[in-house]
C-alpha cells in the first residue's frame, strides 16, 4: 500500500463510546437524539468537514469521519453530549485508518454487538448513513466504503449462521420474562414505546403468549394504534399510562427518549409486584422506581446476560464472518488504489494516444483509405495492450514510489544516449 493511500486512510476515524468499555449510565451521557445528530451534521458541514456519519444506539454512540481535523470533530461531538472531555478520555475511544475500517465491518456484521450477531445494528447504521446523505456529508470515500461494508454484512447474514437463532435485545427481554414470570399466560403486559425495538419486542412477546393481554402506549398514539391493529391488541394514550401501569404485572419500556419517561408518579398508589424492563439508553425508567419495595427494574446490560445458547453457536461462526470481512477489505483497498491511480492512468493513455497520433500523422499521406483503416485498427490494438501492461506495472510499482507520476515519467522518459 502506497504512502499516499495510507495518508488517505488515516483521515478516516471513529470517536465513540460503547458497551465494551462504558457502563450504561455513562453511555447515556453520550447518547445523541435525532435532533442532536442533525445539528451535529449541520455544524460539521458549515465547518468544512469532508464526511461525517453519526451513530447512536443503546450499545454505542459513534461518530465516523473522513477529515484531517480530528480535534474539530471531537469538539463538535462533545458539544452535543452531556458527557465532557474527561468522561470521554476515560471511557471513549478513537480508532483510525485500517483499524477503523475493520471496526466498522465488525459493527455492521454484529460481531461487535453486545449480543453477538444482533442484526438490528446494520439497519441503524443504514439510517445514520441516509441521514448524512440528506445533509450532504457523504464524500466518495465514505460512499464506497459503506457500500462495501453493507454488501459484506448482507453476505455474512446470508452465508453464515452468525445471526441465526433468537438472540437480540428484544428476544433477551422476552426470554427473561419467560424465565421469571411463572404465570406467563395470565399476566398483563404493558409495552411503552413502539419504535424498532418496541416493535420487535411486541412481535417476540406475542409469539409466546396464549392470550392478547398486551397493551401498547406510545407518545404518538397513531403509531401505537397502527401496531395494535396489526396484532389485534389494545393501545392507550399517554394520558392513561399510570392506569395501565397499575393494571400490568410486566412493564417493558422502549421509548428511546433522552430522559426518563416512566416516572415515580406513574406508580403512585401501586402496591402490587411489578417487573420493569428498560430497553432504552439512556435509561428511560426513573431511578427512584428502583427503590420501590415490590418493583424489580432490569436494564439493557442485565438483559444481555440472559440469552440462549444461540450465542455460543454464533461465536463459532465469527471466523467465517471475518474471512468475508477480510475479502471485502481487500476489494476496498483495490478500489482505493485504482481511484488513486485514475489521474495517472488517464495521463498514461493520453501519452500513448499522442505517440500514436504523431506516427499516424507522419504516415497518413503515404496510405490510401483502406490501408489507413487497417493501420488505425492495428495501432489502436497495440496501444490498448501496451496500456494494460503499463497499468499493471503502475499498480505494482507505485507502491514503492513517493508518487505514481514518478512511475509514469519513468515509463516515458527519453532513453539516454551513449
Residue found by looking up cell 437524539 in the block? 33
Instruction: Give, in order, the Cα–Cα distances in Å from 94 to each of 59, 62, 146.
Output: 16, 10, 19
The answer to whether 194 is annotated as binding is yes
**Exposed e or buried b per residue across 261-298, where buried means at least 16 C-beta atoms within 10 angstroms of its C-beta:** bbbeebbeebeeebbbbbbbbbbbbbeebeebeebebb
Residue ranges of alpha helices (H) inside 181-294 are 196-207, 221-231, 241-247
Instruction: Give, in order, the Cα–Cα distances in Å from 191 to each of 144, 170, 414.
Output: 39, 12, 78
The answer to whether 94 is annotated as binding is no
The answer to whether 132 is annotated as binding is no
Half-sphere exposure of 129 (CA within 13 A, CB side): 19
The answer to whether 61 is annotated as binding is no
User: Do the Cβ atoms of 38 and 44 come closer than 8 Å?
Assistant: no
The answer to whether 196 is annotated as binding is yes
User: Do the Cβ atoms of 198 and 191 come closer than 8 Å?
Assistant: yes
Between the CA atoms of 239, 243, 248 and 253, what dihedral angle is there, to the nearest 10 degrees?
Answer: 30
The answer to whether 58 is annotated as binding is yes
Cβ neighbours of 179 (radius 10 Å)? 10
Residues 6+ apart with CB under 8 A from 32: 40, 54, 56, 61, 80, 81
**290: which 3 cell numbers?**
428502583
**311: which 3 cell numbers?**
450465542
The answer to whether 136 is annotated as binding is no
The answer to whether 83 is annotated as binding is no
Between the CA atoms of 205, 211, 216 and 221, what dihedral angle is there, to the nearest 10 degrees?
Answer: 130
Catalytic residue from among 58, 81, 108, 390 = 58
Q: Could you give the CA distance from residue 387 to residue 397 in angstroms, rounded to a whole number?
A: 15
The answer to whether 269 is annotated as binding is no
The answer to whether 368 is annotated as binding is no
The answer to whether 193 is annotated as binding is yes
Q: What is the DSSP letter of 315?
A: H
The answer to whether 51 is annotated as binding is no
The answer to whether 271 is annotated as binding is no
Query: Left, alpha or beta for 138 (phi > 0: left; psi -120 to 50: alpha)?
Result: beta
The answer to whether 59 is annotated as binding is yes
- Is 58 in the active site? yes
Q: Which residues are catalytic?
A: 58
Annotated binding site: 57-60, 113, 118-120, 124, 193-198
Annotated binding site for NADP(+): 193-198
Annotated binding site for substrate: 57-60, 113, 118-120, 124
Amino acid at each position: 500500500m502506497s504512502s499516499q493511500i495510507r495518508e488517505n486512510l488515516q483521515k478516516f476515524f471513529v470517536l465513540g463510546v460503547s458497551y465494551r468499555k462504558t457502563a450504561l449510565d455513562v453511555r447515556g451521557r453520550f447518547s445523541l437524539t435525532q435532533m442532536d445528530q442533525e445539528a451535529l451534521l449541520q455544524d460539521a458541514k458549515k465547518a468544512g468537514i469532508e464526511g461525517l456519519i453519526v451513530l447512536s444506539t443503546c450499545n454505542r454512540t459513534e461518530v465516523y469521519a473522513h477529515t484531517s481535523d480530528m480535534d474539530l470533530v471531537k469538539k463538535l461531538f462533545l458539544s452535543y453530549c452531556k458527557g465532557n472531555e474527561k468522561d470521554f478520555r476515560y471511557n471513549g475511544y478513537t480508532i483510525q485508518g485500517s483499524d477503523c475500517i475493520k471496526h466498522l465491518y465488525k459493527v455492521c456484521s454484529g460481531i461487535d454487538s453486545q449480543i453477538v450477531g444482533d442484526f438490528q445494528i446494520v439497519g441503524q447504521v443504514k439510517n445514520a448513513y441516509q441521514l448524512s446523505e440528506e445533509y450532504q456529508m457523504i464524500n466518495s470515500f465514505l460512499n464506497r466504503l459503506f457500500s462495501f461494508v453493507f454488501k459484506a454484512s448482507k453476505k455474512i447474514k446470508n452465508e453464515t449462521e452468525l445471526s441465526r437463532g433468537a438472540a437480540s435485545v428484544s428476544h433477551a427481554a422476552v426470554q427473561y420474562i419467560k424465565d421469571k414470570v411463572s404465570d406467563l399466560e395470565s399476566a398483563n403486559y404493558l409495552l411503552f414505546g413502539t419504535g424498532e425495538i418496541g416493535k420487535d419486542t411486541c412481535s417476540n412477546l406475542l409469539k409466546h403468549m396464549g392470550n392478547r393481554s398486551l397493551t401498547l402506549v406510545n407518545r404518538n398514539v397513531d403509531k401505537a394504534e397502527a401496531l395494535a391493529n396489526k396484532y389485534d391488541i389494545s393501545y392507550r394514550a399517554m394520558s392513561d399510562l399510570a392506569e395501565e401501569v397499575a393494571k400490568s404485572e410486566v412493564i417493558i419500556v422502549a421509548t428511546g427518549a433522552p430522559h426518563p419517561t416512566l416516572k415515580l408518579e406513574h406508580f403512585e398508589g401501586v402496591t402490587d409486584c411489578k417487573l420493569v424492563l428498560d430497553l432504552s439508553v439512556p435509561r428511560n425508567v426513573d431511578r427512584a422506581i428502583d427503590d420501590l419495595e415490590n418493583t424489580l427494574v432490569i436494564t439493557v446490560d442485565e438483559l444481555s446476560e440472559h440469552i440462549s445458547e444461540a450465542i455460543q453457536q454464533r461465536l463459532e461462526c465469527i471466523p467465517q464472518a471475518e474471512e468475508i470481512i477480510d475479502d471485502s477489505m481487500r476489494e476496498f483497498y483495490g478500489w482505493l488504489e485504482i481511484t488513486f491511480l485514475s489521474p495517472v492512468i488517464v495521463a498514461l493513455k493520453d501519452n500513448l494516444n499522442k505517440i500514436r497520433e504523431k506516427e499516424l500523422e507522419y504516415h497518413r499521406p503515404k496510405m490510401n483509405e483502406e490501408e489507413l483503416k487497417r493501420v488505425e485498427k492495428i495501432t489502436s490494438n497495440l496501444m490498448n495492450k501496451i496500456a494494460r501492461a503499463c497499468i499493471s506495472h503502475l499498480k505494482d510499482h507505485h507502491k514503492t514510489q513517493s508518487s505514481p507520476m514518478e512511475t509514469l515519467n519513468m515509463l516515458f522518459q527519453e532513453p539516454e544516449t551513449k
